[in-house]
Structure 1
Amino acid sequence: MKLLVASALAAFAFATSAAAGPLATTSIAVSPAGLDLSTAAGAVAMAGRLDRAAVRACGASSFSVRDHQEAVRRSTCYRDAMGEALSALDAPAVSAALRERAAPAGDR
């Protein structure tokens, strides 16, 4: 799974293992349109957009059971996608919003 951000778009590319068959790629565009990423509200909204796209690209959806969505969020696919997206996006407030979102309730 690779996540690239180009101007207003972030494209998720999901690759299956070679042992599973031919290489498959899924791309999901994520736009920061209408958001000010320097504000807390804009950063939280963008973090949510990236999270939903990564979950979807890595094999779950908003209709998947919560346990499946959480398993995807713990996967290498998800971690790699989000890491590359955040690096390319270079928006510290979005990175901070994702860290806050992932922190256990007692750590907030």
Structure 2
Amino acid sequence: MNSRIIAAFGCALALTGAMSAQAAPHPASSEAEAAREVENMPAQVAIKFGDLDLASQQGSATMLHRISDAALEACGAFGASLPDYRWAVRKSTCYRGSMDRAVASLAAPAVTRLYEQRRDYAFNGD
């Protein structure tokens, strides 16, 4: 079974296997600078999807649901968050950017089509 994982980053999602090696940040010169760097590090949420057929309607819908849950979590909403808070996070640029980048980096045509069909309603509908 394929055990691909997608990782959610605060305001971005990316395939873990496709993440490019980035240069390590320069060492912090003070405790305050180190604290700011830690504060600005995005949250990471892994999404397993090796069990899904991303070419199918059901697999695509399940994947979008998993990406949405991870984007909500990475942007600050959790399962126990109040519904109004979860709604507000869904309307945020963090969430929308996370969803857009995750779907694009996944490169699964059926998931992309389904996301594009639902995107305008999800971000503008009530």
In the TM superposition, residue 80 of structure 1 has moved relative to its aligned partner by 1.0
Aligned to 2:15: none
The answer to whether the 8 A contact 1:55-1:72 is kept is yes
Cα displacement (A) at 1:72: 0.6
Matched, 1:46 2:82: no
> Matched residue of 1:28: which SS?
strand
1:8 aligns with 2:4: yes
**How many percent of aligned residue pairs carry the same amino acid?**
35
Q: How is 1:1-108 mapped onto 2 (pairs within 5 angstroms)?
A: 8-14=4-10, 21=36, 22-102=39-119, 103=121
Corresponding residue SS for 1:95:
helix
Moved over 2 A (4+): 95-104
Instruction: Say if 1:47 and 1:95, in contact at 8 Å, map to a contact too.
Output: no
Higher-Rg structure is 2
**What 5-or-longer segments of structure 1 have no aligned partner?**
1-6, 16-20
TM-score computed with the length of structure 1 as normaliser: 0.75
Q: Output the CA distance in 1 between the equivalents of 2:52 and 2:110.
A: 12
TM-score, normalised to structure 2, is 0.65
Amino acid at match of 1:10: I
Unaligned stretches of 5+ residues in structure 2: 12-35
Aligned residues: 95
